[in-house]
Structure formats: C-alpha cells, structure tokens
C-alpha cells in the first residue's frame, strides 16, 4: 500500500529581536548610501584649501603669501582639515573624507537621541534623505557637516534632563563657542538656549558668569588672535558680503527671494521648519521655545543680509532645528491616540514631497534636469560642480573642474599678480607664488571695505579698482601708488596691519583705531571724491 506524503506548509516566522536597533541600522545604511551618491566639492571650499596649503608650507594662515587676510569663515573647520591635508596628497579626499564621516556621525547621533521608536526612525530618515539643503551641504567641502554635528550635540545637551545646571551651562557655552568657530552666525541659533540655561543659574550669577566665560574661552581666544594677527575680529568675507552699503529694501527683497527659492526647489526643508515652529504653539516649554527663537533670529539674519547665492546652504542648520522640534513634540498628548493609518499616510506624503524637489538627493545623477539658477542669481551650486567634483565621477575618471586647468596653466606661466573672479580651484592650483586679485574682493583687504558699485548677484558684489592699486600690488607693496589722497592714506595705515611685522611699533594702536572706525572718514572722503571712471 502506497503512503501519501503529507507536506506541511512552510511558515516564515521572522522576528526582529531589537526593532529600534534594526531600523536604525537600516536607516544609517540608506542615508549613508545617499551621502555617498551626493558627495561633491564646491569652488568656495578650495578657498580654504589654499589657506591650509599655505599654512602647511610655512606661509601662515594667509590667502596671498605675505598678506594677512582672513578669507575663511570657519577656523575650526580649517584646523580640522589641516591633519587630513598633512597626510593625504589628494585635496579632493581631504574634503570628501571628513565631510562624509562627520555627516554620518551627526546623523547617527541625531537618530539615536531624537528618533527612538521604529516609526520615528523611518519618518526621520525619509526627512533627512529628502532635504536637498541637508544632503547637498552634508558635503560640498564647506563647514556645514561640522555645524550639523555641533548642533546635534548642542540639542542633545539642551534636551537632556539629568544634567547638573552648571555642568550643563558649561557644555552649552562650549558648544556655542565651537559653533561660532565653525561659522560665526551660528551663534544666533545657539544663544537662546544658552541664555535660558544661564537664567536657570541666576541665583549664583557670578559663578554662572564664570562658567559661561570658561565655555566661551575658545571663541574668545580665537577672536583675540584674529584681532592681533589679521587686524580685524571678523573674516574679510564679512566686510565684503555683509557690509555692502546697499539699500536695505533691496537686501530684504533678495532675502525673501532666497526663502522663496528654497520653498520652490526644496519644499521639504522649510516645510519641516515651519511645522516644527507650529508645534511650539501647542507645546511651548522653555527648551523648545529657545530652539524656535534661535530659528527666528537666524531667519531674520538671512533676510537682513539678502540670503546667499547657494540655494539652501543657510537652511541646512535650521532644518535640523525644525526637525528636532517635530521629534520632541508629544503628538499623543495634544491629539490623543494617533491611529496607524495616519502614520502610513504621513509616510506616503513625505515620500511624495521628497520627490517634488528640483533635484531629489535620492535620485542624484550627473545629468539631472532642471534650471541651474533662478532669476535672482540663486544657484543650485551642486549642479555646476557635481559633474567634475562628485565623488562617483572623480573616483572613476579623476575629473577636474575647468578652472583647475586655468590655475595650472597660470602657475606654469608664472605671471603675478593676476586677476580672477572664481578663485577657489584656480587659487589652489595656481600655487602660493602667484598673487591673485579677487574681482569680488573676498580676499582683498582694501576693496572689501569700499562701497560696492551697485546691486549685482548676491554674494558677488563688484567694487571699484582704485587707480594705482594694481601698480602697488605689482610692485610688491614697496610703494603706495594709490592716486586718491583719502584712499592713499587709508591704505598706508592698513598696510601696517596686514603687511608689517606683527610687533611693529604702533601696529596695535592702529588695530584699535581701525576697529573703532577712526579711519572711516577717509572711506567717506573717497566716496565723495572717487576716481574718475
């Protein structure tokens, strides 16, 4: 008698032992792959690389050798790059590696602290991966990755409940100082929380003041060094970009255009910020309110300076702040139990919103369609450089942006000085022996303090070239050939700060005079009697 074999159905019993850890690993793998896909380098990052190269070759923290001008806005980022540049020959990888590692670390810390449940991890990962501003400027070679990391650490300390008040004040003060050393205007995001923590320690205000100053010591020491070494406390780019003399209405209009550009090209980023701010109206405890105030101050600052020419660059930090407000919002306390279908609907909406971006990071490729810039001169900066400096292309083809070749040719020709208006790659590859006259005065110690010729593309403000200034530079600054008597005297005083010996007699007195506006009348005299055009 034959026996019939009875087959039992196969049962798949997949059980995840630790769901939060599993989803965290999956999120990190997904976001890590998006970061790799979007790794790129901007021209502006090589402005810093030229300073790093000069520093390593013994010329000092300078842009043009023999002229002390602070062209970088991020001293902490610069010093972080120095050891990489010391041991890695390829300058591209000097920027790729720390950007990727720091961004990955910032994302990991953010998810572990603020997205502890599987659903929150999934939604947060989609938000981080869908924000053009955040992903684009998690590389680029600029300071944003370090800003993101310090901001995450600051938020972790701010929302931590088990801190002793004075220790917490010290940590917040130190992170505020480090944030400002990464980019000075980041202080606007961090100061409200620091002020609140100081207020909590007000009963022992002398001790609180001492603790705060101890935490801010790195920033204080750098500012003293910058004042002594460069003659000015702020980067030269501040004077070139923020002190333009342009009409306030024009700058505000440009600032509004910067916000509108982000909403149009990258709705995810400011959408998250706006939703985060709305939640503060429902649950407005002091910590969350301090984050909201920081966002508001920073947004007003962006409006005041007229935004930027890099779409989204200034929004990556406030995106993290807004996302933190969303993740610290107890939705069930306000709206009672949230049904699962609301979560799945939110998931679908987030995915669709992320794909409506002009160039979604998850789909990033060299030939993505879309406009490179809008009518206000605001550009998708990655669009211009990704084909040559995106890691995937550079790894395969060792591709270079066009101005790299210009710099190499000028280095061989050896003609100095030379005028150029896109100074990053060109400045690095032309080498330290060539003096570069920057058309936009970002590295020009004199013209950065002159009024601009008029409205132009944001961040690219043109200034006059005084008669005799080229001849002064070409002569190695041995003689002052500037024709205008007011500007001649102004530069005579300025040259003691930037060319003279650091301990030259009278130099410290001149530093004080310059920073107190003692010589501003000479600039006004030049404005009243400018050179003939």
Could you report the per-residue pLDDT of 127-174, keeping only the tens digit for each?
999 999 999 999 999 999 999 999 999 999 999 987 789 999 999 999
Q: Per-residue pLDDT tens for 65-120?
A: 999 999 999 999 999 999 999 999 999 999 999 999 999 999 999 999 999 888 88
Specify the long-range contacts of residues 112-120, CB closer than 8 Å, at least 24 apart.
112/24, 113/152, 113/155, 113/156, 113/159, 114/155, 114/159, 114/323, 114/324, 114/327, 114/328, 115/327, 116/20, 117/20, 118/19, 118/20, 118/22, 118/23, 119/343, 120/327
User: Under 8 Å CB-to-CB from 482, ≥6 apart: which residues?
Assistant: 466, 467, 468, 469, 472, 488, 491
Residue range 324-344: average pLDDT? 77
Within 10 Å of residue 61's Cβ, how many Cβ atoms? 20
Does residue 2 surpass a pLDDT of 60?
Answer: no
HSE at residue 453, side-chain half, CA atoms within 13 A, is 15
The whole-chain average pLDDT of the chain stands at: 90
Does residue 447 surpass a pLDDT of 60?
Answer: yes
> What DSSP character marks residue 133?
H
Distances (CA, A) of 456 to 73, 313, 374: 22, 19, 14
Contact, 292 vs 298, CB < 8 A? no
pLDDT at 459: 81
Q: Which stretch of 24-38, 96-110, 188-202, 319-333 has the lowest confidence by average pLDDT?
A: 319-333
Q: Two tokens at 108? A: 């990991």
Contact, 313 vs 137, CB < 8 A? yes
Does residue 34 surpass a pLDDT of 80?
Answer: yes
Q: In terms of pLDDT, which residue wins out, 460 or 132?
A: 132
Does residue 3 surpass a pLDDT of 60?
Answer: no
Residue range 259-276: average pLDDT? 92
Q: In terms of pLDDT, which residue wins out, 341 or 211?
A: 211
Does residue 334 surpass a pLDDT of 80?
Answer: no
Q: Two tokens at 20? A: 């939060």
Beta-bridge partner residues of 379: 310, 373
pTM: 0.92
Within 10 Å of residue 162's Cβ, how many Cβ atoms? 5
Judged on CB neighbours under 10 Å (0-12, 13-18, 19+), 110 is buried
Within 10 Å of residue 256's Cβ, how many Cβ atoms? 15
Residue range 245-272: average pLDDT? 92
Residue range 404-408: average pLDDT? 92
User: Under 8 Å CB-to-CB from 233, ≥6 apart: which residues?
Assistant: 223, 226, 227, 515
Q: Which run of H or E residues covers position 418?
A: strand 418-420
Q: Which run of H or E residues covers position 128?
A: helix 118-130
Does residue 4 surpass a pLDDT of 60?
Answer: no
Q: Two tokens at 270? A: 């400011």
Distances (CA, A) of 464 to 314, 434, 519: 28, 22, 19
End-to-end CA distance of the chain: 113
Maximum separation of any 2 CA atoms in the chain, in Å:
120
Backbone angles phi, psi at 529, to 5 degrees: -130, 70
Beta-bridge partner residues of 419: 437
Residue range 466-489: average pLDDT? 93
Model confidence at 366, in pLDDT bands (50, 70, 90)?
A: low
> What DSSP character marks residue 436?
E
Model confidence at 314, in pLDDT bands (50, 70, 90)?
A: very high
pLDDT at 128: 95
Residue range 188-202: average pLDDT? 96
- Closest by CA to 45, choosing from 135, 140, 137, 148, is 140
- Closest by CA to 36, choosing from 309, 280, 281, 393, is 393
Model confidence at 50, in pLDDT bands (50, 70, 90)?
A: very high
HSE at residue 461, side-chain half, CA atoms within 13 A, is 29
Q: Per-residue pLDDT tens for 5-23?
A: 455 554 444 567 778 888 8
Does residue 59 surpass a pLDDT of 60?
Answer: yes
Q: Which run of H or E residues covers position 438?
A: strand 436-438
Does residue 418 surpass a pLDDT of 90?
Answer: yes
Backbone angles phi, psi at 436, to 5 degrees: -105, 125
Within 10 Å of residue 454's Cβ, how many Cβ atoms? 11
Q: Per-residue pLDDT tens for 462-471?
A: 888 999 999 9
pLDDT at 396: 82
Q: Which stretch of 11-25, 33-47, 191-205, 368-382 has the lowest confidence by average pLDDT?
A: 11-25
**pLDDT-above-70 percentage for the chain:** 95
Distances (CA, A) of 376 to 300, 307, 533: 19, 11, 28
Model confidence at 198, in pLDDT bands (50, 70, 90)?
A: very high
SS3 5: coil
Contact, 130 vs 268, CB < 8 A? yes
Residue range 325-343: average pLDDT? 76
Model confidence at 320, in pLDDT bands (50, 70, 90)?
A: very high
């Amino acid at each position: 008698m034959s026996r019939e074999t009875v087959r039992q159905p196969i049962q798949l019993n997949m059980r995840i032992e630790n769901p939060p850890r599993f989803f965290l690993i999956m999120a990190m793998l997904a976001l890590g792959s998006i970061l790799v896909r979007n790794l790129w380098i901007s021209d502006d990052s090589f402005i810093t690389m030229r300073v790093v190269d000069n520093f390593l070759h013994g010329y000092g923290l300078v842009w043009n050798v023999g002229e002390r001008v602070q062209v970088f806005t991020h001293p902490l980022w610069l010093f972080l790059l120095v050891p990489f540049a010391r041991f890695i020959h390829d300058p591209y990888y000097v920027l790729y590696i720390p950007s990727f590692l720091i961004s990955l670390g910032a994302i990991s810390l953010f998810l572990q602290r603020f997205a502890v449940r599987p659903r929150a991890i999934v939604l947060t990962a989609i938000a981080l991966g869908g924000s053009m501003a955040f992903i684009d400027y998690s590389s680029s070679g600029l300071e944003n990755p370090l800003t993101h990391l310090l901001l995450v650490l600051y938020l972790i300390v701010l929302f931590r409940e088990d801190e002793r008040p004075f220790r917490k004040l010290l940590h917040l003060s130190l992170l505020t100082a480090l944030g400002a050393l990464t980019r000075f205007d980041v202080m606007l995001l961090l100061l409200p929380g620091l002020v609140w923590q100081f207020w909590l320690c007000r009963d022992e205000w002398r001790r609180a003041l001492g603790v705060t100053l101890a935490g801010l010591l790195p920033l204080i020491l750098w500012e003293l060094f910058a004042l002594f070494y460069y003659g000015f406390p702020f980067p030269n780019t501040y004077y070139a970009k923020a002190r333009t003399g342009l009409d306030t209405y024009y700058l505000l209009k440009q600032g509004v255009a910067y916000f509108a550009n982000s909403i149009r090209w990258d709705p995810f980023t400011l959408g998250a910020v706006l939703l985060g701010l709305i939640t503060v109206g429902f649950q407005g405890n002091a910590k969350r309110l301090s984050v909201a105030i920081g966002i508001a101050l920073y947004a007003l600052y962006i409006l005041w300076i007229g935004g930027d020419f890099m779409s989204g660059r200034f929004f990556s930090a406030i995106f993290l702040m807004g996302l933190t407000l969303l993740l610290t919002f107890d939705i069930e306390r306000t709206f009672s139990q949230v049904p699962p279908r609301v979560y799945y609907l939110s998931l679908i909406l987030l995915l669709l919103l992320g794909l409506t971006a002009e160039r979604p990071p998850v789909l990033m490729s060299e030939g993505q369609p879309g406009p490179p810039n809008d009518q206000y001169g605001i550009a998708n900066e990655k669009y211009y450089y990704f084909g040559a400096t995106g890691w995937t292309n550079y790894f395969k083809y060792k591709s270079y942006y066009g101005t790299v070749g210009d710099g190499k040719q000028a280095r061989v020709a050896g003609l100095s000085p030379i005028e150029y208006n896109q100074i990053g790659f060109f400045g690095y590859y032309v080498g330290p022996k060539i003096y570069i006259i920057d058309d936009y005065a970002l590295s020009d110690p004199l013209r950065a303090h002159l009024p601009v010729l008029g409205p132009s593309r944001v961040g690219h403000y043109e200034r006059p070239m005084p008669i005799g200034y080229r001849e002064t530079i070409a002569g190695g600054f041995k003689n002052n050939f500037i024709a205008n008597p007011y500007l001649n005297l102004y530069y005579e005083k300025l040259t003691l700060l930037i060319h003279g010996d650091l301990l030259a007699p009278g130099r410290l007195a001149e530093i004080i005079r310059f920073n107190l506006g003692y010589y501003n009348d000479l600039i006004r005299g030049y404005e009243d009697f400018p050179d003939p055009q």
